[in-house]
């Protein structure tokens, strides 16, 4: 028997025992791949005949990740079954893969909050999409992150960027951004999503205390992040963090208060990208064919069950890939560079295939031209067809003499033709859309022969035009291939003013009305039961996401409801609030108590110049429906100024936007501060005289 040495484990031994973990988000929570993803998981879409998730898992395994959690909220059974039947379920696998699913996941933020609730993270981990294709070394990035944490205890995340010029084919405008970075430390100072605006504004604060600041518009977001174990709890504490970008913005906004920070890793070599939309799907497919993703290339990246029989395809000059057997290729047909053809496929006479991927058991007729076309398994294209930059899912039938224009997507089982022309960007599915309440349409809808041809079978897929980023900053992608329309000249103009109901208890939009009522109920209970502001914030944030309310709307509603509380106290709970009519003096007395109680609540939402403007908008809305209490606006602004909720610049800037004589709530609110604004601006009579003239001086 060998005696125990009694040696204690040192720090180096403990580090060696740490398991490198990864978290994979298997849902994209949008319709970039519609209508295909209605019936099929995003991460199981084939890219050069391999499911996207295989590229991600193989990359993580190659980089030494030992445990990977796949979080999915839709098509969960299909993802579980695929992982169960794959090599990742083999006990001999170097990496364990665990699928975690829930129908409650509505965002990546929900996934990470559940990750925190399950306490699965032991140390630093890698966060990435389930459609990531990469060969970029992870270990050096993780080591760099840990050195950063040792130097800066508040470092939470290292974002991975690849240096690429703006015109590069992998620079998708949907992900276009401008970032400010400290070039000496790699610390991220500011982030702007430039796809949503034609100009970029940088706060002066990011240049203070920095010897150098680098502004970058030459970076591709690889959608890979190395995270500290403190990231999931922060997501859990902030329900308004729905995406990784929300987290980044929140940390940067509150860096001085919370002491947390984010860093960057900028790579000048290697490959990393996510097939987040069809533009990137097209670009990454071409990169795989051209071997930029080595070793994840068609002839080397093999399925486990096919290794015993040798390679599934053979690599030829000009990046042409043919199957080992089963291909019937006419001598007069031409395979141009960057083309992949699956086994069991037949290609007829005088057919040209260029920059395209053809799946297994497909049939391509005579005199067909395929350019940048992606055909999955069992697709049939009859004679005389022209296909360009399109995606055809499994089982699609294209009858003779059909032209498919760029940007078209044909989902499973669609039939088109003969003798038709599909317009650019047409999205077809085999079944009609339902009304959202029934599994099947009430009336059987007939196919439109003008759309799909007299022998066709397919229905137009209409994207949800109500989809919108919670901060109202993400451009709606009208082109499913991922290219947003260029920003309009007036995109920065203020939105049209919404009508405000005269009874003061409703909003013109149903969701906003419901949200308003829930905020009223929460704050009423807060007063009656002395509920802490932290709990009220959680309730309000939950209501915000339930009704999809933008943050600027939240701030305006919360401000308005706080000012209305003295009028609503004592009314019956549930449903719409019952409005009381106290005298102006009684209102002022009650308001002082409410403002003191909800001071922390207001501070939570009013943090910068934009939120101050939203707060002032809420005050305008209050004045519009409570004109008899407009005299209180001056003391309200005075109190908010003293509490550092509103700055002098915010108040004066707001006042300059409209003349007090302007009809409507904007002018009425400004007229109400006649006695307060001169007091605030007494130190600057010149400024005061520039934009404000007291009615008493006329």
Query: Degrees (nearest 5) of the Cα angle 23, 177, 492?
Result: 125
Asked if 289 contacts 298 with a C-beta cutoff of 8 angstroms, the reply is yes
Contacts of 135 (CB under 8 A, 6+ apart): 59, 62, 270, 271, 272, 293, 294, 295, 296
Query: Degrees (nearest 5) of the Cα angle 42, 105, 551?
Result: 110
CA distance 615 to 612: 5
The pLDDT, as a whole number, for residue 663 is 65
- Compute the Cα dihedral for 634, 638, 644, 648 and give only its sign: positive
CA distance 221 to 533: 37
Q: Give the single-character DSSP code of 78.
A: H
Asked if 426 contacts 408 with a C-beta cutoff of 8 angstroms, the reply is yes
Which residue stretches of the chain have pLDDT < 70?
Answer: 1-17, 195-198, 302-311, 435-444, 464-510, 569-580, 659, 661-666, 674-698
Residue 200: other Cβ atoms inside 10 A? 14
Asked if 213 contacts 226 with a C-beta cutoff of 8 angstroms, the reply is no
The pLDDT, as a whole number, for residue 360 is 95
517: enclosing H helix or E strand: helix 510-528
Q: Where are the domains of the chain?
A: 18-199+207-279, 312-434+448-460, 510-697
Contacts of 642 (CB under 8 A, 6+ apart): none
Asked if 503 contacts 577 with a C-beta cutoff of 8 angstroms, the reply is no
| Length of the chain in terms of residues written | 698
Contacts of 72 (CB under 8 A, 6+ apart): 26, 27, 41, 43, 79, 99, 100, 101, 105, 130
Which two tokens mark 569? 């106290």
Q: Which residue has the tokens 């403190």?
A: 230
Contacts of 530 (CB under 8 A, 6+ apart): none
Which two tokens mark 375? 């055909």
Q: Which CATH number fits domain 18-199+207-279: 3.40.50.920, 3.90.550.10, 3.30.2010.10, 3.40.50.10860?
A: 3.90.550.10
Asked if 425 contacts 459 with a C-beta cutoff of 8 angstroms, the reply is no
Q: Give the single-character DSSP code of 84.
A: H
CA distance 186 to 141: 12
Nearest CA to 577 out of 526, 516, 502, 512 is that of 516
CA distance 256 to 252: 8
The pLDDT, as a whole number, for residue 485 is 42
Q: How far is CA 399 from CA 370, 384, 409, in A?
A: 14, 9, 16
Nearest CA to 432 out of 414, 420, 405, 406 is that of 414
Backbone phi and psi for residue 6, each to the nearest 5 degrees, phi listed first: 70, 15
Which two tokens mark 618? 């809420």
Nearest CA to 536 out of 524, 553, 548 is that of 524
Which two tokens mark 530? 């002395």
The pLDDT, as a whole number, for residue 384 is 96
* CATH number for region 312-434+448-460: 2.160.10.10
Class of domain 510-697 as given by CATH: mainly alpha
CA distance 84 to 421: 42
CA distance 343 to 71: 33
pLDDT tens-digit map of 557-607: 999 999 998 888 654 444 444 556 778 888 888 888 899 999 999 998 998
CA distance 354 to 335: 6
CA distance 29 to 100: 16
Task: Specify the pairing of strand 363-364 against strand 380-381.
Answer: parallel
Which two tokens mark 257? 């208060």
Residue 525: other Cβ atoms inside 10 A? 15
The pLDDT, as a whole number, for residue 566 is 87
**Which of 466-474's residues contact partners 24+ apart within 8 Å by CB, and which partners?**
467/30, 467/31, 468/548, 468/550, 470/240, 470/242, 470/246, 470/544, 470/545, 470/548, 470/549, 470/550, 470/551, 471/246, 471/249, 471/550, 471/551, 472/550, 472/551, 472/552, 473/193, 473/196, 474/193, 474/196
Q: Residue 358: exposed, middle, or buried by beta-carbon count in 10 A (0-12, 13-18, 19+)?
A: buried
- SS3 of 303-335: the string is CHHHCCCCCCEEEECCCEEEECCCCEECCCCEE
The pLDDT, as a whole number, for residue 679 is 59
Task: Specify the pairing of strand 363-364 against strand 346-347.
Answer: parallel
CA distance 572 to 586: 20
């Amino acid at each position: 028997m060998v005696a125990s040495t009694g040696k204690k484990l040192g720090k180096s031994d403990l580090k060696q025992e740490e398991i490198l973990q990864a978290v994979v988000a298997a849902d994209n929570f949008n319709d970039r791949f519609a209508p295909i993803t209605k019936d099929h998981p995003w991460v199981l879409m084939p890219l050069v005949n391999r499911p996207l998730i295989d590229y991600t898992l193989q990359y993580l395994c190659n980089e030494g990740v030992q445990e990977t959690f796949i979080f999915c909220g839709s098509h969960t059974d299909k993802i579980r079954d695929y992982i169960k039947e794959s090599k990742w379920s083999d006990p001999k696998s170097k990496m364990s893969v665990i699928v975690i699913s829930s129908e409650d996941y509505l965002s990546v933020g929900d996934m990470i909050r559940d990750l925190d609730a399950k306490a699965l993270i032991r140390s630093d981990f890698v966060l990435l999409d389930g459609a990531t294709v990469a060969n970029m070394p992870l270990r050096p990035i993780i080591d760099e992150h840990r050195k950063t944490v040792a130097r800066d205890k508040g470092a939470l995340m290292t974002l991975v960027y690849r240096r690429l010029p703006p015109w590069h084919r992998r620079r998708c405008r949907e992900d276009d951004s401008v970032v400010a970075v400290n070039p000496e430390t790699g610390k991220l100072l500011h982030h702007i999503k430039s796809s949503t605006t034609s100009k970029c504004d940088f706060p002066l604060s990011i240049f203070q205390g920095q010897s150098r600041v680098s502004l970058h518009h030459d970076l591709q977001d690889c959608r890979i992040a190395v995270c500290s174990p403190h990231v999931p709890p922060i997501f859990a504490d902030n329900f308004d963090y729905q995406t990784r970008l929300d987290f980044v913005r929140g940390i940067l906004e509150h860096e001085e208060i919370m002491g947390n920070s984010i860093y960057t890793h900028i790579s000048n070599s290697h490959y990393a990208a996510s097939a987040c939309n069809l533009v990137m799907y097209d670009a990454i497919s071409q990169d795989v064919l051209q071997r930029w993703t080595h070793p994840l290339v068609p002839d080397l990246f093999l399925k486990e069950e096919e290794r015993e029989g040798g390679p599934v395809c053979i690599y030829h000059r000009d990046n042409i890939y043919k199957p080992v057997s089963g291909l019937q290729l006419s001598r007069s047909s031409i395979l141009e560079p960057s083309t992949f053809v699956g086994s069991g496929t037949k290609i007829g006479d005088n057919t040209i295939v260029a920059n395209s991927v053809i799946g297994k058991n497909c049939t391509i007729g005579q005199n067909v031209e395929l350019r940048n076309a992606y055909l999955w398994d069992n697709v049939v294209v009859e004679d005389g067809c022209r296909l360009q930059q399109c995606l055809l899912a499994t089982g699609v039938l294209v009858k003779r003499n059909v032209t498919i224009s760029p940007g078209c997507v044909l989902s499973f089982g669609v039939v088109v033709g003969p003798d038709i022309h599909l317009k650019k960007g047409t999205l077809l599915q085999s079944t009609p859309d339902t009304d959202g309440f029934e599994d099947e349409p009430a009336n059987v809808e007939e196919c439109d022969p003008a759309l799909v041809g007299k022998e066709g079978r397919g229905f137009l897929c209409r994207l949800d035009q109500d989809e919108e980023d919670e901060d109202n900053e993400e451009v709606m992608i009208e082109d499913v291939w991922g290219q947003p329309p260029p920003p309009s000249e007036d995109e920065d103009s203020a939105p049209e003013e919404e009508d405000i109901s005269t009874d003061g208890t409703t909003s013109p939009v149903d969701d906003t009305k419901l949200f308003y009522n829930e905020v009223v109920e929460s704050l009423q209970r807060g007063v009656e039961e002395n509920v802490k502001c932290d709990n009220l914030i959680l309730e309000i944030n939950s209501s915000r996401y339930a009704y999809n309310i933008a943050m600027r709307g939240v701030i305006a509603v919360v401000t308005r409801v706080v000012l209305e509380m003295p009028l609503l106290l004592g009314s019956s709970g549930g449903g719409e609030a019952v409005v009381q009519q106290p005298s102006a003096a009684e209102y002022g007395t009650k308001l002082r108590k409410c403002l003191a109680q909800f001071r922390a609540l207001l501070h939570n939402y009013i943090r910068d110049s934009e939120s101050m403007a939203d707060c002032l908008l809420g005050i305008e809305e209050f004045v519009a429906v409570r004109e008899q209490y407009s005299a209180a606006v001056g003391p309200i602004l005075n109190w908010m100024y003293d509490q550092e909720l509103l700055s002098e610049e915010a108040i004066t800037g707001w006042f300059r936007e409209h003349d007090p004589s302007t009809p409507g709530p904007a002018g009425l609110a400004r007229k109400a501060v006649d006695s307060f604004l001169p007091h605030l601006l007494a130190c600057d009579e010149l400024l005061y005289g520039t934009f404000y003239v007291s009615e008493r001086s006329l």
